[in-house]
Amino acid sequence: MSEPHPRTVVVLAAGEGKRMKSSLPKVLHPLLGRTLLGHVLGAAAPLRADRTVVVIGHGADQVRGHLAEVAPEATPVLQAQQLGTGHAVRIALEAAPDATGTVVVINGDVPLLRPETVTALVEAHEAAGAAATVLAAEVPDPTGLGRIVRDTAGRLAQIVEERDATPEQRALREINAGIYAFDAARLRDALGKLSTDNDQGEEYLTDVFGLLRDAGEPVAVHVAADHVETLGCNDRVELAALRRLLRDRVNEGWLRTGVSILDPYTTWIDVTVTVERDAVIDQNTQLQGATVVGAGAVVGPDVTLIDTTVGEGATVLRSHAVGAEVGPRATVGPYAYLRPAARLAEKSKVGTFVEVKNSEIGVGAKVPHLSYVGDATIGAKANIGAATIFVNYDGVNKNRTVIGEAAFIGCDTSLIAPVEVGAGAYVAAGSAISQDVPAGALGVTRAPQRAIEGWVARKRAGTASAAAAERARAAAEGASVEASAASEGEPMHEGAETVSGPATAGDTATE
């Protein structure tokens, strides 16, 4: 078995991208989970190169910082003046003086490039023993792109930039995709012979092919099976078009693995997301970052999940989640907000207009509606009534609340942390709990209710409320007179008794 060829990858990422009209370098614009540069690095990853050199220029500090996050093994090399692609590759090789074997050069703005295509290019180049191989593609509209010019035998004659092309050459539809494989030694020699005798006054990397051919060195063309993956972008309109193309590719891939995507045109799934078989993704859904959707889960419609795990058989409806965990067969939404470190256990429920942050919701526990849960631990089968607020912040520190197993929190309750409600305990609706409630106890802080008769007539005279109250009073007096007349001469019933008092725990919560 032959020894593998040493390989060096050079990514050209120094351009400004003026037509993007952005303070962000073009190669850092995002596209379904990665930057343009990140997609290119991902396409080259299967080559297992000995080194990767990224030529940076405009926004160098930003690009350097991004590389430190996504590809710390890559070596950034500064091209202080953009003097052409040939100049960029020359300074890249100066940073890798011991590079031998194959040098792969890729433009940093071709995010749809597939790893399989890069690998096929390099393997064909190495198998043929070529000095240089260019990736080409047949495109419907070649405007703005370099053309592949072949001789009468169909071999590569030269690569011509559009600005330097003749009218006949501009009519050609086979274009240079900006991706190359070179023999390292022969590339170094040719780079030293480049001139700036062209319309832009720059060193064109493509001129290397003509130099090598004139020297009798073998040069080759490898044609991509799908021209779409060779598309780059120069402005935001083209970037949006690439985004749609990648969306369709990603969605088709998941559909073929057994995932149901009900409306692929309104479903956007990052390339970094994992979706398991029989999951259902409904319309207007965005799955981003490191999100994982388990088998049989239902997500959507109108859902955004960022770095969130959704367990098997769970349901997330019209909600937003960031850095959260939704357990198997749990339910979320509609209109819920799961913030980082929200963790929902199996069969738990977070319902309508509920926000959860840095909290654990136990197995089978419920927070059905209109509540804020922050910095809390809620035990299994606990029920949190509507409009409950976990008061976690005292202006300086975040404090924690603990709700025990099968505890029952009444509606419109404030739990003022740090506080603990024991297992099986109840909290009466409308309470503000600032002290621990023992297991099995009822916690209540209600003030006695009182009615101030005649207040509306005195304080709100002339209003609709005063008029309604007067009508109700008159009607009540009339009913009382009729009842008195009807009961004259009748014996009083014995044993009649009326008992009133404060509400008990039975009316404390909703479900």
Catalytic residues: 369
Q: How crowded is residue 52: how many other Cβ atoms within 10 Å of its Cβ?
A: 23
CB within 8 Å of 375: residues ≥ 6 apart: 357, 358, 359, 390, 392, 398, 399, 400, 401, 417
Distance, in Å, from the CA atom of 293 to the CA atom of 306, rounded to the nearest integer, reads: 11
Residue 351 dihedral angles phi and psi, to the nearest 5°: -100, -145
Q: What is the dihedral of CA 358, 363, 365, 370, to 10 degrees?
A: 40
Torsion sign over Cα 498, 504, 506, 509: positive
Distance, in Å, from the CA atom of 252 to the CA atom of 435, rounded to the nearest integer, reads: 55
3-class state of residue 193 by DSSP: coil
Q: How crowded is residue 265: how many other Cβ atoms within 10 Å of its Cβ?
A: 11
Alpha helix (H) residue ranges in 36-191: 36-44, 60-70, 85-94, 115-128, 167-170, 184-191
State the DSSP H helix or E strand holding residue 237, giving kind and residue range, or none if neither: helix 236-256
CB within 8 Å of 95: residues ≥ 6 apart: 53, 75, 77
Three-state SS for 26-57 is HHHCEECCEEHHHHHHHHHHHHCCCEEEEEEE
Apex 222 CA angle, 218 and 228, nearest 5: 155
Q: How crowded is residue 430: how many other Cβ atoms within 10 Å of its Cβ?
A: 18
The answer to whether 58 and 132 have CB atoms below 8 angstroms apart is no
CB within 8 Å of 130: residues ≥ 6 apart: 181, 183, 218, 219, 220
